[in-house]
Amino acid sequence: MKIADFFGFNLDRRLFVLDDYLKLGNLGQAVEQRPAVRRAIEQAGDPQHGYVRLVRRREALRLLGLLLRGELLPWNKYYYLKEVNTATEEDRRYGAEESFLAFCLVLATGQSWPALQEQHVQPGVRALRQMEPAERDAAIWELFYEHAGEMERAYRQRLGLRQEDAGLRSWWRRLKNRLARRAGR
């Protein structure tokens, strides 16, 4: 995948539907093949479970990480003031980079692009563009964990309790079976 692939990306959807965004970015199949996604589906038992969607977002960001750590054109305050901002190769590249950064923000937060613009989420596209590549990558991951960390912790805790409950139930079942066998003698 190249940043140029993001040229002309339409992120104006009002609702965040992860599968639609992954198809838009041609990431759907690559994300589904990741071992972490398959494990999450197996654990949750439902491919549309909230935790599975969270893992899909994380894996999509991992796939985009190399591009995120790459060099970008410097911020251009005149880009959006131009009457035609696709006339040159540099303009098209700049537009693709803007769409790419917006797409990363959408995946990191789990919210639609219009919702992020209304909330003035920080860091925004401009701030990301002005960061060093390693800082940009770290900022996206910080944003992801800020929005997803609590959900993931709650799910893992619930999963752990479910496993403990299952272990307790099986222990109790074994004990009842032993008692029943002894009583039957």
Give the pLDDT score at 46: 85
Contact 103, 21 (CB under 8 A): yes
Tell me how far apart the alpha carbons of residues 89 and 148 are, in angstroms, rounded to a whole number.
37
From residue 78, alpha-carbon distances to 91, 120, 153 in Å are: 11, 20, 43
pLDDT of residue 35: 93
Closest alpha carbon to 136 in 177, 178, 104:
104
H helices of the chain, in order, are 18-24, 28-32, 35-44, 50-68, 89-109, 113-119, 125-130, 133-184
Exposed, middle or buried, 144 (CB in 10 Å: 0-12/13-18/19+)? buried
Per-residue pLDDT at 178: 66
Tell me the CA distances in angstroms from 8 to 13, 77, 83, 121, one per residue in order: 14, 19, 16, 22
| Predicted local confidence at residue 47, as pLDDT | 87
The per-residue pLDDT for 127 is: 92
Rounded distance between C-alpha atoms, residue 95 and residue 116, angstroms: 18
Confirm if 70 and 133 have CB atoms less than 8 A apart: yes
* pLDDT value, residue 165: 47
Segment holding 81, helix H or strand E: none
Contact 57, 22 (CB under 8 A): no
Residue ranges of the chain with per-residue pLDDT less than 50? 164-168
Digit-coded pLDDT (tens) for 83-135? 766 778 888 898 899 999 999 999 999 888 998 889 888 888 899 999 998 89
Torsional sign, CA 161, 164, 168, 174: positive
pLDDT at 38: 92
Structure tokens at 134: 């390693």
What pLDDT was estimated at residue 105? 93
Confidence (pLDDT) at 170: 56
